[in-house]
Amino acid sequence: MNTNKETQFKSGFVSLVGRPNVGKSTLLNRFVGQKIAIMSDKAQTTRNKIQGVLTSEDEQIVFIDTPGIHKPKHRLGDFMVKTALSTFNEVDVVLFLVNVTEKRGPGDDFIIDKLQYVESPVFLILNKIDQVHPDELLPIIEDYRQQMDFAEIVPISATEGNNVDHLHETISSYLKEGPQFYPEDQVSDHPEYFIVSELIREKVLERTREEVPHSVAVVVESMKREDNEKVVVNATIIVERKSQKGIIIGKQGKMLKDIGMNARRDIERLLGDKIYLDLWVKVQSDWRDKQSHLRDYGYNRDEY
């Protein structure tokens, strides 16, 4: 870091909020330049606050990707919503993402109602603009403007990268002089165990589709380097029913092998090491509604 610029160094925290599946994780990964949040076209993929860190010579932005806000159906859902809402008053800027291919719904109205009480600047981020004609944007902007007075309105495509640089510049203009919270080469505040477990869970969601809904958790039991060559990762995939275990293992273990092979590629990219991944599948009935299991699988933090 250039010490001559130390007095001008800016930093701040930015929260990404919105309904499930509006592109928050995709935008976070786009900002930090690598995958730290899992992406899926299934709703409610993100379960914890995931912090991504973007550092340049004169600023550091800590992005907080939150679970999609939805009406909770079980204790895990309740935890996810509380997690998302808890970020609103902790940050310097709130990015409220909406999907321009869908009409404003009750979920958006619920979030807007909560945002009315936030003192931090709230940006309206219109995502997926690559999927609509530009003429369709003005009525959408006008509709949201009537609901709330946003500090900024920025149309983007998180997937294609359209206008994301402009969004970055706009966020920077709201940051104040501040310290560097994380080392410049750090891209997340989560331990590697957590990100590795999320990458494995992503592959489960991608490959099992509708057969195994969000009753899947992944616990990394150990990560050890052996013979100075490979890092051996032992992980357990938790499901709620025996039938789901059968689906994940697949015929002659083919599905589990496929999940492991694809997860290993992403983990090797993350760690920069050769990986040996040993996956097991375990049935734990109704774990999403049991406080002790939620805690064991990382979904129960004291601050919530």
The 10s digit of each residue's pLDDT in 232-281 is 888 888 888 888 888 889 899 999 999 999 888 888 876 667 888 889 88
pLDDT at 9: 92
3-state DSSP assignment of residue 12 = strand
Q: Cα(60)–Cα(219) distance, rounded to whole angstroms?
A: 31
All structural domains of the chain with their residue ranges: 3-177, 192-296
Give pLDDT, residue 245. 87
Asked whether 127 and 57 are in contact (CB, 8 A), the reply is: no
Ranges of residues in the chain with a pLDDT under 50 are: 1-6, 38-48, 289-294, 296-297, 299-304
Distance of alpha carbon 161 from alpha carbon 156, whole angstroms: 7
> For the CA atoms of the chain, what is the radius of gyration?
20
Task: Report the amino acid identity of residue 304.
Answer: Y
pLDDT of residue 292: 45
pLDDT of residue 125: 97
CATH superfamily assigned to domain 3-177: P-loop containing nucleotide triphosphate hydrolases (3.40.50.300)
pLDDT for the residue 29:
80
DSSP 119-183: -S-EEEEEE-GGGS-GGGHHHHHHHHHHH---SEEEE-BTTTTBTHHHHHHHHHHH-EE----S-
State the pairing for strand pair 217-226/230-239: antiparallel
Q: What pLDDT is recorded for position 130? A: 94
CB 133: neighbour CB atoms within 10 A? 7
Is the CB of residue 83 less than 8 Å from the CB of residue 302?
Answer: no
Asked whether the beta carbons of 16 and 64 are under 8 A apart, the reply is yes
Nearest to 278 by CA among 240, 230, 239, 213: 230
Which residue's entry shows tokens 């919105």?
A: 18
Which tokens is 109 given?
């109205």
CATH code reported for the domain at 192-296:
3.30.300.20
Alpha-carbon gap, residue 235 to 89, rounded angstroms: 35
CB within 8 A of 189, min separation 6: which ones? 51, 53, 62, 182
Tokens of 176: 């104040």
